[in-house]
Amino acid sequence: MKRGKYGLDAPVVVIGYISGGILFSILGIILYSKESWMINLGIIFLIIGLYMTYGSKIGKYKMRKKIIQKLSIKGNEIALDVGCGRGLMLNGVASKLNSGKAYGIDIWNANDQSGNNYDAVMQNAKIEGTESKIKVINSDMRKMPFQDGYFDIIVSSLAIHNLKNNDERKKALLEIARVAKKGCKLAILDLAHIKYYEGILSSQGFEIEHIDKFQIQIFPPVKVLYAEKR
C-alpha cells in the first residue's frame, strides 16, 4: 500500500522548536565562555523538534498499522474517522474494507496539521487507492450529520484534545456514543485527556477494553483507548 502525504503535525510548534534550537545553539557557540547553557538548551529544542518530525513522517504510520490490526476489520463495516485531518486513519481503515464504507469528518484547521484540507484527503485517497471507499464531510465533531447507531468502527487520532475544554470534548464524545451501534469498535489516539474520555464513554455504554499508554512513536508520547459499545 502506497503512503499518502500526511503533513507535519503541529507545524507551528515543530518550527518553533527547531528554530529555537538553532538560535540558542548559535548564540551558545558565540558566547560559549559566558552562556554555555544556551548550547544545551538549543540541543534539547532540536531533539524535540526532530522527534516531532519523526513522529509525523514515520511514527504515525506505525501507530496506524498497530491500531488497524487491533480493530480486526472484517471488510463490510461502516467506519468513521472523527477529525480525519489529511486522512491518515481514514484511508488506513478504508484500505481494509471491501463492501464497507469509511466516512471522515473535519473542519480542517491548518494549525493542527500542515496542508490540512479536503483536497489533501482526497489526494491521499487517490495515492492509497481508497477513493471509492471513502466519503469526506465538512462537519464539527460536536454535531455530526449521522443517524443514531450508524457505525461499526469509529477512530479518532490527535483530534479531540484540540477542543478548547472538557465541556466541548464531552459533546464530541457523546456524539461518538450516539452514532455508534451496539458492538461498535472504538479507538481514540490522543496525547491528553484519555482518562476523561474513558469516564464519559463508560457512562455511555462502552466497555473499555484496553489503554495503550506511553506510545513513543509520536512526540509528545500518546495513549490509545480501545473500547466496544455494549
Cβ atoms of 160 and 170 closer than 8 Å: no
pLDDT tens-digit profile of 103-135?
999 999 776 666 789 999 999 999 999 999 999
Cβ atoms of 206 and 177 closer than 8 Å: yes
> Amino acid identity of 213?
K
pLDDT tens-digit profile of 8-37?
888 889 999 999 999 999 998 888 766 778
CATH number at residue 179: 3.40.50.150
Residues 47 and 140 in one domain: no
Edge-to-edge strand list for the sheet holding 222-229: 134-138, 101-106, 78-82, 151-157, 180-190, 222-229, 206-215
C-alpha to C-alpha distance for 197 and 142, rounded to whole angstroms: 14
Residues 130 and 84 in one domain: yes
* Model pLDDT, residue 7: 84
* Model pLDDT, residue 29: 87
Cβ atoms of 114 and 86 closer than 8 Å: no
Query: Considering the entire predicted model, what is its pTM?
Result: 0.90
* Residue given cell 484534545 in the structure block: 161
* Model pLDDT, residue 227: 98
DSSP 3-state assignment of 145? coil
Residues 93 and 181 in one domain: yes
Per 3-state DSSP, what percentage of the chain is helix, strand, and coil (rounded to 5)?
A: 45, 25, 30
Q: How many domains does the chain have?
A: 2
Residues 210 and 131 in one domain: yes
C-alpha to C-alpha distance for 191 and 9, rounded to whole angstroms: 12
Please check whether residue 216 lies inside any domain of the structure.
yes
C-alpha to C-alpha distance for 113 and 12, rounded to whole angstroms: 9
* Residue given cell 513522529 in the structure block: 55
Residues 173 and 103 in one domain: yes
State which residues form the domain around 41. 11-55
Residues 17 and 90 in one domain: no
* Model pLDDT, residue 54: 94
C-alpha to C-alpha distance for 115 and 118, rounded to whole angstroms: 10
Q: Which three cell numbers stand for residue 105?
A: 469528518
* Model pLDDT, residue 161: 96
Q: What is the pLDDT along the chain (230 residues), one digit of tens a residue?
A: 678 889 888 888 999 999 999 999 999 888 876 677 899 999 999 999 999 999 999 999 999 999 999 999 999 999 999 999 999 999 999 999 999 999 999 999 776 666 789 999 999 999 999 999 999 999 999 999 999 999 999 999 999 999 999 999 999 999 999 999 999 999 999 999 999 999 999 999 999 999 999 899 998 899 999 999 99
* Model pLDDT, residue 123: 95
The beta-strand segments (E) located in the chain are 78-82, 101-106, 134-138, 151-157, 180-190, 206-215, 222-229
Cβ atoms of 101 and 152 closer than 8 Å: no
Residues 48 and 72 in one domain: no
> Amino acid identity of 48?
I
Residues 175 and 117 in one domain: yes
